[in-house]
């Protein structure tokens, strides 16, 4: 929740995302991204973008972190904060595909901190994906 997540914690999460971006594999775009997810357990999981010569196979930093988190800690995880960083000094909010993937595991009020045109910006996840796809199974 934004109210319980101090700016310091989000800054630390952003720093971990920036460190993760050092491991980016981005020979095609040169755009090096890192993401850090904080789970309700307190665990922090990072990821980076991994590109492919078949460009469409590229995975973003946010989704790398997400699949790592589920692989490590299982399907019951809940994400309570996200930070994104890039080493290019550019805005990089999570892309639409990453938002839809995050929606599966993230708390609606979780703060998402990312580089924006005006500097670092933080917003609640529910504001980022107001009409995400949902499937109500019978
Ligand atoms: N990228 C991310 O890692 N996260 C996003 O949310 C958007 C884009 C990566 C994918 C690709 O390797 C590079 O940035 C340029 O699109």
Ligand 1 centroid to residue 92 C-alpha, Å:
8
Summarised one tens digit per residue, pLDDT across range 109-137 is 999 999 999 999 999 999 999 999 999 98
Nearest CA to ligand 1 atom 7: 95
Q: Which atom of ligand 1 is nearest to the CA of 93?
A: 6
Q: Which atom of ligand 1 is nearest to the CA of 48?
A: 3
DSSP E strands in 1-138: the ranges are 33-39, 44-48, 79-86, 111-116, 119-124
Q: Could you tell me how far CA 123 lies from the centroid of its own chain?
A: 13
Active site (annotated) includes residue 134: no
Verify whether ligand 1 is closer than 6 Å to residue 65 (CB atom): no
pLDDT classification of 4: cutoffs 50, 70, 90: low
pLDDT classification of 1: cutoffs 50, 70, 90: very low
What's the DSSP call for residue 57? G
Tokens linked to 137? 């199974």
Choosing from 12, 43, 62, 134, which is the catalytic residue?
A: 62
Ligand 1 centroid to residue 80 C-alpha, Å:
22
Q: 50 by DSSP, 3-state: which?
A: strand
Taken in order of first residue, the domains within the chain and their CATH numbers are 7-127 (3.40.140.10)
Summarised one tens digit per residue, pLDDT across range 83-113 is 999 999 999 999 999 999 999 999 999 999 9
Tokens linked to 11? 């800054």
Summarised one tens digit per residue, pLDDT across range 44-77 is 999 999 999 999 999 999 999 999 999 999 999 9
């Amino acid at each position: 929740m934004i109210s319980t997540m101090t700016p310091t914690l989000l800054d630390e999460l952003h720093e971990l995302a920036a460190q993760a971006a050092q491991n980016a594999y981005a020979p095609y775009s040169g755009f090096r991204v890192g993401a850090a997810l904080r789970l309700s357990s307190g665990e922090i999981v990072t990821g980076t973008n991994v590109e492919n010569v078949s460009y469409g196979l590229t995975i973003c930093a946010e989704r790398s972190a997400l699949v790592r988190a589920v692989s490590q800690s299982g399907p019951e995880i809940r994400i309570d904060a996200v930070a994104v960083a890039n080493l290019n000094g550019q805005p990089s909010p999570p892309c639409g595909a990453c938002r839809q993937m995050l929606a599966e595991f993230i708390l609606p009020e979780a703060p998402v901190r990312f580089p924006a045109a005006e500097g670092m910006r933080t917003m609640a996840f529910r504001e980022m994906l107001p009409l995400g796809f949902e499937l109500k199974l019978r």
